[in-house]
Structures are given as structure tokens and as C-alpha cells.
Structure 1
Amino acid sequence: MSEHLTVVDHPLVQHKLTLMRDKGTSTAGFRRLLHEITQLLAYEITRDMPLTTTTIETPMEEMESPILAGKKLALVSILRAGNGMLDGVLELIPSARVGFVGLYRDEETLQPVQYYFKVPKGIDDRLVIAVDPMLATGNSSIAAIDLLKEAGATDIRFLCLLASPEGVARMKEAHPDVQIVTASLDRELNDKGYIMPGLGDAGDRMFGTK
């Protein structure tokens, strides 16, 4: 994989993704699978987090042991579908700070419109992981990362379930410093800006809306 894009091909990730793609999977099942797959993807995206050491006492003896270094990372959900990925990462890293970027897609222009933005303080000193199940046109993801950079973030990664070649290319052009971690690079976008073969609208399938 390139430095810009990592596709996590772990068997458990691919198995769970197949179940999520299946249109017969229930809302509850989809939500549970998204939670599980997010944890597996989060394991990959945090692989090179910096470590320091601390002195502890095991039941046997004192030792120097590795522990995460620096400020707690910041998780930023790109609303609303990103919320389905938050809990999975927070179970792994419960001390993470959490922010939200509210964007919706104008169905005529396919351009993102901002309606909410709130992120933790000191974001310039934190690893920031932005989460959104779909990297489709890339418009909302690019807009969200623009806002995070304006707020001072310098170390940003993007975690998604599915990506399109068009979205990856646009993200690389706009934000070449942002690494993307995903479970699948799908074939293409259709003329409505949906990922093909994809899994439909992640937000609708997660929340049971249409």
C-alpha cells in the first residue's frame, strides 16, 4: 500500500465487511458489525503511536514498561455517520478527547455544507483521527480536514470503512499529508456520488432511516 492509503486486508475485517455489504443485514446487525470492524481498523491506524516508558511494580519485581507518550489523541466524528465509529475507537482508547464536524451534502451540487464544529482544546499537539464510514466524492472529508487544519491540527489521519478511487485521489491532492486507513478500496462512484459496489448509505443503514 502507498503511504497515503492503507487497506486493511485482515480476514476478520474482510469477513465483517461482507456481512455489512449484504442488504439483508439488519440495522442492529449493521451497527454491531460497524462497532467491531472499527476496532480492528483502529488497531491499524494507531500502530505507530509514540511510546515512552514508566516504572511499575509487577507482582514479581519493578520494571520499566512502555506506555503511550504525549497528549491524548483526539477523535473527530464527521456527523452523522461518523458517530457509528466513535464508540469502537473509544473502547480501545477511553481517554481520547472527542470532537465533531457537522457537514451535510447538498444533493444538487454534492458539495458539503457545514452546520456544526467543535473540537478539543490543544488540537495542535494531538494526533487527530477523523472518522467517517465512507470516503466517496471526498468533498465532505476534504472540507472536514480543512476545518481541522484551520483549528490548528497538524497530525491528522482519516479512518473509513469504504473508499472510492475518486475520493482517495481527491484527498491525496487536497491533503497529501493525511493517511487514509480503510477496509476496502471499492470500484468507483456512480453518477449520484455513491460508492459501488459499496453498501448503500451508511448513516441510513446504521440508524434505520431513509
Structure 2
Amino acid sequence: MAGTTLAEVMTELAGLEDPKARAVNERHGDDHGVNLGKLRALAKRLRTQQELARQLWATGDTAARLLALLVCRPKAFDRDELDAMLREARTPKVHDWLVNYAVKKNPHAEELRQAWFTDPDPVVASAGWALTTERVAKKPEGLDLPGLLDVVESEMKDAPDRLQWAMNHCLAQIGIEHPEHRARALEIGERLEVLKDYPTPPGCTSPFAPVWIDEMVRRRESV
């Protein structure tokens, strides 16, 4: 479907609007009513179209921005473009997909990680922490893991929700991936009790760091 116009795509997105899907999404802070499976099917038909992706993003519409991130060419964005996009991405799903589907695959990812990590905007900082968590798991060389644990220990308890969630994920990942820091990660998690009472569906792992760490380590050791 190369050459599809923005108007045509927006009309198709409007046709996918589902009040039930919107109700579910809005409970998670996402203001759109498109089933994500149908959104992915549309993206598969459109294939990669970078200019269309930019046009979709510029609409400001959440469903359109999610579609943009599915049809974009991640390496085609420059650093300042991604920085501006992140600062505009206020709904959780758009923020998450932007980081995971575009930024992580972009050559400026490490530069942006360092810039965002200490940003005064907690939503922007949470993206820096998400990118740091990726490095903790896949490329920890050069990271100051004890220093990261120091920041988590002093700031996670009172951090705004999205930043707190990102810090907690980093804490858990350090404990899972790095046995030499596991005892301290468990101790910090137990003492701060962040997400200890988070409702967890049956069959899912709790986001409470000590439980999360123990469960993932147990799974790996049982293989």
C-alpha cells in the first residue's frame, strides 16, 4: 500500500474505532479506541513508509502515532527529532512504543539515554531509565551499576509513577542479570516496598522487585 495518503489512513483508523477498546485503553491512560491487533494488521498492509509515519505523528492523534511507530524507519530519525517526539509522547503506550520500536533501534540511542536519564521531566527521565535497563541486560560494560542502585535507593520511593516504574524495572534487571549485585538489589526492594501490593493477575510475575528477581533467577536455574 505504498503511496497511501494520510487522509485515507486516518479514515481507515476512524473506522476501526471501538468504544469497548477505548474504555479499556483509557483505564491505562491511553486515549484511543483501536484494537492493537487490527492496528498491527493495518501496519502490515501499509509496510514501511517513513514520510507517512511523520505525517501520522504530526496529527497528534494517539492511534495515528502508534501506527506511525509501526510503519516508520527507526534509523531515519535524527537525534533532535526523536527528542522532540519523546517530549510530545504523553500517553503511556505511545511513550513505550516510541522508546522500544524507534529509539532503541536508532544510532542516537546511547546519546539520548544519557541526555534523558537526568532530565527534570520525570516522563522524559523514565525513557532514559528504560534505555539504561536495556543496557543493564544486554550491554552493561561501562555502566556504573552500584551508582544506579544508589540513585534507585535514594529516589525511587518518592518518584512519580512512570519514573518509579522505570527505576523499579532497572532495579529488578540489575538483580536478575548481575549476581554480584543481587543481594543489594533484593535488600533495596524489600526496604522500599515499591509495587509490593500491585495487583498481579494469576500466572503473571509480580513487578515487586524481590519477587520478580527471585522468580526470574529460579526459572533460569531450573532450565
Q: TM-score, normalised to structure 2's length?
A: 0.30
Which structure shows the bigger proportion of residues in helix conformation?
A: 2
Q: Which has the higher contact order (CA 8 A, sep 6+)?
A: 1
Bigger Rg, structure 1 or 2: 2
Which structure shows the bigger proportion of residues in strand conformation?
A: 1
Q: TM-score, normalised to structure 1's length?
A: 0.31
